[in-house]
Amino acid sequence: MNGQPSVLEKVVAFVDERIGLKTLQAKMLNEPVPGGSRWAYVFGSCLLFIFIMQAVTGILLMFYYVPSADHAYASTQYIIHEVDYGWFILSYHFWGSSVMVVMVFAHMSQVFLWGAYKKPRELVWLIGLALFGLVMAFGFTGYLLPWDQRAYWATTVGVEIMDKTPLVGDFMARFLKGGPTPGQMTLSRFFVIHVMILPAALMGLAGLHLFLFRKAGPAGPFRGSVEELRARTDYFFPRQVWKDVVAMGAVFVTICSLAFIEPVVLLEEATPDPGDYHPEPEWYFLFLFQMLRLKMFSGELGQFVAGVAIPLGFMLFLASLPFIDRSPERNIFKRPIALVGWLIVMTGILVFTISAIINREFLD
Amino acid sequence: MQPKLKSKVRCADREVGEVTRVIVDPLSREVSHIVVGDGAGALEREIPAAEFQTVTEDAVQLRATSSEMTQFPAFQREGYVTIREVEIAHLEDHLHVEAGEVLVPVPELERNVKRRTFFTNFTHAIGFLLALPLAFPVLKYVMKPMYAPFDNRWIKIGNAGKIKAEDVGVQFKFKKSVKEAFMPEAEVDKNVWVLKASPVVLEGVYRGKDLEFKDHSGQVIWTNKRDVPYVAYSGKCPHLGCGYKWRNVPKLGRQIFLCPCHLSIYDPSGKVLDGPAPRPLDPVPIRVAANGEIEIIDVEFKAGTRAQIRIV
């Protein structure tokens, strides 16, 4: 056997000869990480991992789920109560979406605080923002699919908010609902958006995001001399890959634990009479929901400001950030406006979310 | 200028060999060292860029003398990877070390092609012409169910005998049959709030005018008379479309309509007392038979607008 290549080695050699596999693999793994691998860099890999798991669990759910107003609820109940481990697959998918939102916030915060959106990484940042929008759209459209009261009312209110966009709002809301009120057409539309359009868009944009990131190269730490960085530089593999894999494992265990501890339980089947149910969106939209309760955002104009202008304006602001903030300084402790701004936004979201939860008790 | 591969390397006193390899710093992406050898496999040495005195198209002049060459470390191949095996962003932009251009011939047919711009534009035009006739059908295809005619059926919702006191909101739940597109006819649960209004509240609702309800065409389909004491409000909150409740609020010392979503509060006449709602509750067409049977038309208005815009 000595000296003779094994079958596996022959297969690898066969493929390598045709597509240059080894060079490709070397290029993928040998990416210098300036200043060395860090735990702070794991969020992007975690997001990719969560997305793949969402795709897998989502496809599994489609083995039983029927996107029709008379079967969506029953088929979801069937998945939860009858199908072996159906409750787990569904709960994993549900909690996976929440963890994905948390990871998106962590990833964006890391990039923001490290000043990694600045030249030459503007395009990576812009595509990242589009991906953020896609993740939120995934959450919003997926929420309707079980067709229970929670689903129905979150969608009703969410689409009404979109309706407040000037000029195109009415068209957008009717387009999404497939009519004047939510029903079968809404379910069909949300379904195709959730399982076809968004995944295709996300795969394309995530690929572009990674490509642009590799083109621009990792930003590395925001302080340290060139000599210090050079001394600590390593390749993506193995140290960063190791950290990424450990973080993915932690994410997986977290989602599984949440699915076990708090499995998905449906409310009554969707109907335009809310009964005793107090409509509320998923937790990551709570801050927006709470903002709309404020007196200052009352009336037609107020709703437009809180529901459309502020979120849209904030996204536009983030998109223009690398073009406004052109100082090459990346150290967050030397960018007081950025640091304070980040703290204000995070605190604001936290305060509004908590006050929405406190309001919940006051209503019951 | 960057040193080139195969360039001659000269020390202060004599030529010592040629550039066999170029080493690039991955952070600055500049040439950091050259490797000097005689091209015949003898010992190669790494010379840092700081030692270069001048670099020309085909030669590198070093500061050191040939006898000082031994002070430079021997080149160790295993300490490096080629640039094909590593991904360093924008490395090519910084690097000009090729020994020369590597070329392939342009195919014969491509050499004398005129009107390249014309061909490019023509390709775009064909693509555009293919897409154009599709745009309208696709738009109409996805818009099919968006605009439905109004539903002006009267629906029985219960008996007024259920209402025991004046100016108290009483919820009437009812089933509404819906036939949506290809779906079998189904029933959905809906509700309206009915009030037996005192004259004061009735005045608050109608403000001295009968209330007309119109179809798409603007034709009046029903008029709520201002002297009929029964008022029915659409179960949909005019703020963002949630379902509101009738609540006793001890702090206010009165009963009110409260929407749990965004906390809009309405008095029995539907007037906004507090919260973000842009307009009062929406009365719907109501008629009460002599035996107390209440019928309504389940009209719905767009939520969140100051004006009432009927959508159902």
Dump pLDDT digits (tens) for A13-23.
Answer: 999 999 989 98
Question: What is the arithmetic mean of pLDDT over B213-224?
Answer: 94
Is B276 within 8 Å of A174 when comparing Cβ atoms? no
Q: Which range, A92-101, A162-171, B94-103, has the best average confidence (pLDDT)?
A: A92-101
ipTM over 0.90: no
| Contact status of A205 with chain B (Cβ, < 8 Å) | no
CB atoms within 10 A of CB B49: 16
Which secondary-structure segment (H or E) carries B141? helix B116-143
Q: Which residues of A touch B148 (CB under 8 A)?
A: 179-180
Q: Per-residue pLDDT tens for A230-289?
A: 889 999 999 999 999 999 999 999 999 999 999 999 999 999 998 888 888 999 999 999
CA A55 to chain centre: 13
- Binary contact (B278, A300; C-beta < 8 A): yes
**Stretch (H or E) spanning B48:** strand B45-48
Q: Sort residue B70 into left (φ over 0), alpha (ψ -120 to 50) or beta.
A: alpha
Amino acid at B289: A
pLDDT band at residue B106, thresholds of 50, 70 and 90?
confident
Pairing of the two strands B286-288 and B293-297: antiparallel
Residue B53 CB neighbour total at 10 angstroms: 12
Search chain B and give the residue with CA nearest A68: B183
Question: How many other CB atoms sit within 10 Å of the CB of residue B56?
Answer: 12
The yes-or-no verdict on residue A166 having pLDDT over 70 is yes
Dihedral angle sign, alpha carbons of residues A214, A219, A220, A225: positive
User: CA separation (Å) from B204 to B165, B267, B270, B277, B278?
Assistant: 18, 10, 8, 17, 17
The DSSP code for A237 is I
B261 in reach of chain A (CB within 8 A)? yes
Contact check, Cβ <8 Å, B89/A215: yes
For the segment A31-46, the average pLDDT, to the nearest whole number, is 95
| Mean pLDDT for the stretch of residues A100-105 | 97
Distances in whole angstroms, Cα of residue A99 to Cα of each of A85, A143, A301: 21, 15, 34
- With beta carbons less than 8 A apart as the criterion, state whether A201 and A134 touch: yes
B276 and A292 in contact by Cβ < 8 A?
Answer: yes
Q: Quick one: pLDDT band at residue B30, thresholds 50, 70, 90?
A: confident
Answer whether B306 sits within 8 Å of A299, measured CB to CB. Answer: yes
Q: What is the largest CA-CA distance in chain B?
A: 123
Q: What angle, 0 to 180 degrees and rounded to 10, lies between the N-to-C axes of helices A184-192 and A169-177?
A: 90
Q: Among residues 21-40 of chain B, which lie with CB inside 8 Å of chain A?
A: 25-28
pLDDT of residue B236: 94
CA distance B311 to chain A (A): 6
**What share of residues in chain B are helix, strand, coil (percent, to 5)?**
20, 35, 50
Report the side by side order of strands in the sheet with B59-62: B45-48, B31-37, B15-24, B8-10, B59-62, B52-55
Stated pTM of the model: 0.92
Q: What residues of B are in contact with residue A178 (Cβ under 8 Å)?
A: 145-146
Q: State chain B's mean pLDDT as an integer.
A: 91
Distance CA A24, CA B84 (A): 9
CB of A355 within 8 Å of a chain B CB? The answer is no
Q: Give chain A positions within 8 Å (CB) of B277.
A: 298
Lowest mean pLDDT among A107-111, A129-133, B93-97: B93-97
pLDDT above 60 (res A156) = yes
pLDDT confidence of residue B204: 94
Of B84, B142, B239, the CB nearest to A175: B142
B280 close to B297: Cβ distance less than 8 angstroms: no
- A87 SS3 class: helix
Among candidates A34, A184, A235 on the partner chain, residue whose Cβ is nearest the Cβ of B181: A184
Instruction: Please give the backbone phi and psi of residue B245, each rounded to the nearest 5 degrees, phi first.
Output: -130, 165
- B213 neighbors B219 (Cβ within 8 angstroms): no
B96 touches chain A (CB under 8 A): no
Residue A169 to residues A20, A136, B86, Cα–Cα distance (Å): 51, 19, 49
- Higher-confidence position of B110 and B220: B220
Nearest-CA distance A111 → chain B (Å): 18
What local confidence, expressed as pLDDT, does residue A364 receive?
Answer: 64
Using DSSP's 3-state secondary structure scheme, residue B31 falls into strand
A97-to-A109, A138, A217, A247, A251 alpha-carbon distances in Å: 18, 8, 29, 17, 12
Q: Scanning every residue of chain A, which has its alpha carbon at the shortest distance from the alpha carbon of B187?
A: A271
Q: What residues of chain B lie within 8 A of the CB of A233, using their CB?
A: 26-27
Q: What is the mean pLDDT of chain A?
A: 94
The whole-number pLDDT of residue A2 equals: 66
Q: Is B165 on the interface with A (CB under 8 A)?
A: no
List of chain B residues whose C-beta atoms are within 8 Å of the C-beta of residue A156: 240-242
Mean pLDDT of B58-86: 91
Average pLDDT on B133-141 reads 94
Q: Which of A157, A235, A237, A285 to mutate to test the interface with B (most CBs of B within 10 A)?
A: A157
* Torsional sign, CA A30, A34, A40, A43: negative
Chain A, 131-160: which have a CB under 8 Å from a chain B CB?
153, 156-157, 160
Percent of chain A with pLDDT over 70: 99
B205 and B199 Cβ atoms separated by less than 8 Å: no
pLDDT number for residue B99 = 66
CB nearest A184 (choices: B27, B180, B243): B180
Report the C-alpha gap between B268 and B278 in whole angstroms. Answer: 17
Tally the C-alpha atoms within 13 A of residue B213's C-alpha that lie toward its C-beta.
23
- In terms of CA atoms, which chain A residue is nearest residue B277? A299
Structure confidence at residue A103 as a pLDDT band (50, 70, 90): very high
